[in-house]
Chain A
Amino acid sequence: MSTKNWPLWEVFVRSKNGLEHRHCGSLHAADEEMALENARDVYTRRSEGVSIWVVESKHITASNPENNGEMFEPAQDKVYRHPTFYDLPDEVKHM
């Protein structure tokens, strides 16, 4: 096993047409082509997907968990921002 690691990539798989790509994990690869092939082998070998996106992890800007208070808590006591006061018809599934 080499001690020098390839860059890390994040893998997004669309499980079937019409659904969105979802993050399913990460892997190492030397470039985007290898990342796609590795993703195919690591994440879709039990026919989990019909489309794969890969993006090098360094290109993702993430929020800092330390700032969770100011980022997310103010939303918690404003229930009127949630559409919970309406009756949703069953046909509307993914709300």
Chain B
Amino acid sequence: MNQNLYNYILGIADNSLILGQRLGELTGHGPSLETDIACTNISLDLFGQVRSYYQYAAKIAGDKRTEDDIAMLRKEREYVNVLLVEQPNTNFAYTIARQFLFDVYHFLFLTQLEKSKDLTLSAIATKSLKEVSYHQRFSTDWLKRLGDGTSESKAKMQEAINDLWTYTDELFHQTEADKAMVAEGIGVDVTTLKKAYYEKVEAVLSEATLETPESKWFQKGGKQGIHTEHLGYLLTDLQYMQRTYPNMEW
């Protein structure tokens, strides 16, 4: 089994799985019927992408593990998503800020992954790009609406951006699996995305009449399995059914 490739796939897939689960929490709880459906649509897009990645990971693993085992039965420390995507839906501004800060990265990332020498990853990237460009449009529009809205929406949007800013730098940290896959022409060198990312984010923030936070102190650890306190609770929800009724199927 190619351990580096396996780990690399999980690094991509876990981001979408955890963010998808967060958005799924809004089912029936969105601020309006329309935004509720929009957020859960994005969630379903992400889960769809995740299935392709985990199916591929299961194939690489080559043992009895299925896509569901990989998605549902790992322990907290074995998830390697970035800290950004596990942050809670504190209010709609946080949901939008988290989505926007991830979408800009996700779009840049998939655009590069499309060029991967690994044809499976490249195909998943091509399929996902259309979805993710819509996600980015949705979160960008809402960021501008709330930022350039009322004084209350502006204050809440700025607060969410300020709070989540500390999780952005981790998106561009390379893991061991990253380095190995970049060397083989399979993986994306995330360090090269950083400049374009912050330029895009700053441009949209300024259009939304929001300020780009100046803080240079960043959180990290998600990619190594060291998470914020929020992930455990999220996994409790996510894994409940498989833990309670092992091997159950729909």
Q: Which A residues lie at the B interface, using CB under 8 A?
A: 1-2, 6, 27-30, 33-34, 37-38, 41-42, 45
Q: Which of B104-161 contact A (CB under 8 A)?
A: 137-138, 141, 145
CB neighbours of B138 from chain A (8 A)? 37
- Which residues 27-46 in B have Cβ within 8 Å of A in the complex? 31-35, 37-38, 41
CB neighbours (8 Å) of A1 from chain B are: 31-32
- Can you name 23 A-B pairs with beta carbons within 8 Å? A1-B31, A1-B32, A2-B32, A27-B34, A28-B32, A28-B33, A29-B34, A33-B141, A34-B141, A34-B145, A37-B137, A37-B138, A37-B141, A38-B34, A38-B35, A38-B37, A38-B38, A41-B34, A41-B38, A41-B41, A42-B37, A45-B37, A45-B41
The one of A2, A6, A30, A37 in contact with B38, judged by C-beta atoms closer than 8 angstroms, is: A37
Q: Which residue of B lies closest to A38 (CB)?
A: B34
Closest-by-CB residue of A relative to B32 is A28
Q: A41-B37, A41-B38 are in contact. List 12 more A-B contacts (CB 8 A).
A: A1-B31, A1-B32, A28-B33, A28-B34, A30-B145, A34-B141, A37-B141, A38-B34, A38-B38, A42-B33, A42-B34, A42-B37
How long is the Cα–Cα vector from A1 to B28 in the complex, in angstroms?
A: 11
Determine the chain A residues whose CB is within 8 A of the CB of B34 once the complex forms. Answer: 27-29, 38, 41-42
How many Å lie between the Cα of A38 and that of B37 in the bound state?
A: 8
Task: Please report which residues of chain B, range 73-131, place their CB below 8 angstroms from some CB of chain A when the two chains form the complex.
Answer: none
Q: How far is the CA of A33 from the CA of B137 in the complex (A)?
A: 11
Question: What 10 A-B pairs come out closest when comparing CB atoms?
Answer: A38-B34, A41-B38, A41-B37, A41-B41, A42-B37, A27-B34, A45-B41, A42-B34, A28-B34, A28-B32
A33 CB contacts on chain B under 8 angstroms? 141
Which B positions have Cβ atoms within 8 angstroms of A?
A: 31-35, 37-38, 41, 137-138, 141, 145
Cα distance A30–B142 in the bound complex, in angstroms: 11
Q: How far is the CA of A33 from the CA of B34 in the complex (A)?
A: 13
Contacts of A27 in B (CB 8 A): 33-34
* Docked CA distance A29–B32 (Å): 10
Q: Write out the residue numbers on chain B whose beta carbons fall within 8 Å of the beta carbon of A28.
A: 32-34
Closest residue of A by beta carbon distance from B45: A45
Task: Tell me the complex Cα distance, A30–B31, Å.
Answer: 13
Cβ contacts under 8 Å, B38 to chain A: 37-38, 41
**Closest A residue to B138 using CB positions:** A37
Interface centre among A34, A37, A41 (most CB of B within 10 A): A41
| Cβ contacts under 8 Å, B137 to chain A | 37
Instruction: For the complex, give the distance between the alpha carbons of A29 and B141 in Å.
Output: 13
Shortest C-beta distance, B8 to chain A (Å), equals: 31
Which residues from chain A contact B141 at a C-beta distance below 8 Å? 33-34, 37
User: Could you tell me the distance between the alpha carbons of A6 and B141 in the complex, rounded to whole angstroms?
Assistant: 16
In the complex, A26 Cα to B17 Cα: how many Å? 32
Cα–Cα distance between A21 and B32 once the two chains are bound (Å): 26
